[in-house]
Amino acid sequence: MTRIQKKNTTTILEAALDVFSIYGFRGSTVDQIAQAAGMSKPNLLYYFPTKDAIYTALLNGLLENWLNPLYDMDANGDPRTEILSYVHRKLDMAQSFPRESRLFANEIIQGAPRILDLLTGELKTLVDDKATIVRLWAEQGKIARIDPYHLFFSIWALTQHYADFDTQVKAVIGDTAHDPFPQAREHLDHMFTSMLKP
């Protein structure tokens, strides 16, 4: 792959992330993406054969990074530290990669037609694995007896909310307000610290 190919491919995927993360797959148009990428529609379709191919390439490219923080949760670490670190990493990702978060949110709200296999496969396996660890920690009295699955749902919901519902968060705290993330971090720290106490 030449330099120019690599450059254009990444430019397209970057533009596609902008558009798809807002309007979802069906609500987005190739024209929008082409314009955001600063190129003509046929030129864009020279690099990706179809709209579907752009979306799929984007999704697959992002999935790996998306699951990494959970993979890194360590059964041999300190339970509270491990869980709080996971919360922090997820919150950092919501702050640094809000478009990616919204892309997945759109995809899942619409029934996850393109990643359902991943959800019931790799993700479920991963969560089952980590749930076993959390359950063990609870049985050893290191943390409170919590449903591990709903613990993970809580972490996802709370952290991704600041990316996905960003518009609402900003509307409610006011335009003049400071960046909500520092306070969100404190809030989540308090929340998980208190709920994990045995």
Q: Which residues bind a copy of itself (CB under 8 A)?
A: 22-28, 102, 105-106, 108-112, 116, 119-120, 123-124, 127, 144, 146-147, 149-154, 156-158, 160-162, 164-165, 167-169, 171-175, 180, 183-184, 186-187, 190-191, 194-195, 197
Residue 139 in 3-state DSSP?
A: helix
The minimum distance between CB 1 and a copy of itself, in angstroms, equals 33
* Residues 98, 105 contacting (CB under 8 angstroms): no
The minimum distance between CB 1 and DNA, in angstroms, equals 7
88 binds, among DNA, a copy of itself, none (CB under 5 to 8 A by kind): none
The minimum distance between CB 60 and DNA, in angstroms, equals 17
* Residues 24, 55 contacting (CB under 8 angstroms): no
Token code pair at residue 84: 């709080």
Rg (CA), the chain: 19
The minimum distance between CB 18 and DNA, in angstroms, equals 14
* Burial of 197 from C-beta contacts in 10 A (0-12 / 13-18 / 19+): exposed
Residues 31-60 that bind DNA (CB under 7 A): 31, 39-43, 45-46, 49-52
Among 13, 16, 20, 28, binds DNA (CB under 7 A): 28
2 binds, among DNA, a copy of itself, none (CB under 5 to 8 A by kind): DNA
Interhelix angle 51-71/3-27, rounded to 10 degrees, is: 90
> How many other CB atoms are found less than 10 A from the CB of residue 60?
12
Residue 21 binding DNA, by CB under 7 A:
no
